[in-house]
Amino acid sequence: MQARRASRELALILFSQLDKNLDKYKNEDFTQIVLKSVRTLISNSYDEVSMSVSDLTNIKNQIIEFENNHEDNLSRPIDSENIPVQIPLTSDLEGKIDILLNVAEKTLSALDVAELCTLANKEDVREYIIKICFEYQKNKEEIDKIISEFAFGWDIDRLFKIDKDILRIAITELAFVKDAPHKVVIDEALELAKKYSTDDSPSFINGILARVVEKYV
């Protein structure tokens, strides 16, 4: 994960915790919110992995129970070891495979969180987060006006907050920070939408950002 990508993702998490009175925030406030966000990510990730371990343990216990109660083993002497038995490919087993896939996804997500948290301690990552926050703070009315201009048929107050925050970060970078290629900013905004928002969000966000680049950048 690159430093700028980490900055954008952490900025999105930070934006989710800001209230509407942005003018009250200072550099130290943003830094503290970033640290709080990282701690929340770590805690949530730990809980997810713990649940995954529990799911795996349950599956193992169910397999052991299935083997113990199989007719091939019930007919054996009490003090003899179980022999392996075939497990039928049933919908129940498919459900267990789904659990394993979910466990794998949670584990990969935990690795992403670990990397994100490590990068959060890098000075250049924190500085870029603060730059995004301050530029949005200074230009929030104009940025939200741009979103309203291109969100045809939508009241900005009724948009998903996560979509608004992704757009706010991307437009801040495109129109005010101007320190990264347009394609990179848009591509990573779409990745954040895929990761955190709805299936329809990436195309919606892509359409707005394309118009922003055409008219304002």
Domain regions of the chain by residue span: 3-216
The rounded distance, in Å, linking the Cα atoms of 47 and 90 is 30
Q: Provide mean pLDDT across the span 21-49.
A: 71
Close Cβ partners of 138 (under 8 Å, ≥ 6 residues apart):
176
Whole-angstrom CA distances from 93 to 62, 63, 65, 97, 99 are 10, 10, 14, 6, 10
What is the pLDDT at residue 142? Answer: 94
Evaluate if residue 90 carries a pLDDT over 70: no
| Secondary structure (DSSP) of 163-176 | HHHHHHHHHHIIII
Per-residue confidence band for 163, with pLDDT thresholds at 50, 70 and 90: very high
Q: Provide mean pLDDT across the span 187-213.
A: 92
Check residues 155 and 74 and name the one with the higher pLDDT. 74
The rounded distance, in Å, linking the Cα atoms of 131 and 146 is 20
Check residues 179 and 19 and name the one with the higher pLDDT. 179
Smallest CA-to-CA distance from 14 within 136, 155, 104 is with 136
Topology of domain 3-216, CATH = N-utilizing Substance Protein B Homolog; Chain A (1.10.940)
